[in-house]
Amino acid sequence: MTTDLAEAREWLETWTDVSGVEGIVVKPQTSRYVTGYRGAWTKVRHRDTTEAIIGAVTGTLTRPQLLILGRHDPDGRLRAVGRTVPLRTEAARLVAEHLTAADPGHPWEGVTFAATWGSRDVLDVRLVRPDLVAEISADRGGVWRHPLRFRRLRVDMGVQDVPPFGQGPAAAAG
């Protein structure tokens, strides 16, 4: 516990690198833990920026809502690594300008995607040609359990430039 902002920032930077800690909790000193109630408690996560391949979207090709992202594994298979939070209008417009419907034989044909972590609800997705790279902001750590944040399209990169599945600055696995 600390009341020193500089010390809390130092913890966030160093502990997440060493121990896999996702973040720190900020709360009033007098606040007690109550099961199932968050109240004034806030979790501050450390996030990294990295790239992933756009393999599917929710919504339509002209107005994508979420991006379903992947990376290639050592055998060259496109493996899903996460999904974004809903895209802002301008980001959705930009992404839509570059999306192309998937060709037959897309690696995710017949695959279903859970609406949320551990959910049995399934997302309604549109498969797209997996040739676009997105820069994303992701929780630090080995598993992207939380939705990713779309930062920008990386039209300057090819899918071969994306870190492989399980590697990279915010390596996804699982």
Q: How confident is the model at residue 172 (pLDDT cuts 50, 70, 90)?
A: very low
Residue 140's pLDDT is 61
| Structure confidence by residue, pLDDT tens digits, 143-159 | 566 788 999 999 999 99
The CATH fold assigned to 47-161 is: OB fold (Dihydrolipoamide Acetyltransferase, E2P) (2.40.50)
| Structure confidence by residue, pLDDT tens digits, 103-162 | 999 999 999 988 776 778 889 999 999 999 999 988 765 456 678 899 999 999 999 999
Strands (DSSP E) along the chain, which ranges?
23-26, 42-45, 47-59, 64-72, 78-83, 125-139, 149-153
d(CA 89, CA 10): 35
d(CA 46, CA 139): 6
Torsion angles phi and psi, residue 68, rounded to 5: -100, 125
How many Cβ atoms are within 10 Å of 133's Cβ, its own excluded? 22
d(CA 20, CA 11): 12
d(CA 13, CA 31): 25
Query: Angle at Cα 86 formed by Cα 97 and Cα 133, nearest 5°?
Result: 45
Q: Range(s) for CATH 2.40.50.140 in the chain? A: 47-161
Tell whether the model's pLDDT for residue 92 goes beyond 80: yes
Portion of the chain with pLDDT greater than 90, in percent: 50
Q: State how far the alpha carbon of 140 is from the alpha carbons of 14, 59, 60, 94, 125, in Å.
A: 12, 28, 30, 27, 26
Residue 128's pLDDT is 98
Mean pLDDT value across residues 161-173: 68
**Predicted TM-score (pTM) of this structure:** 0.74
Helix, coil or strand: residue 58:
strand
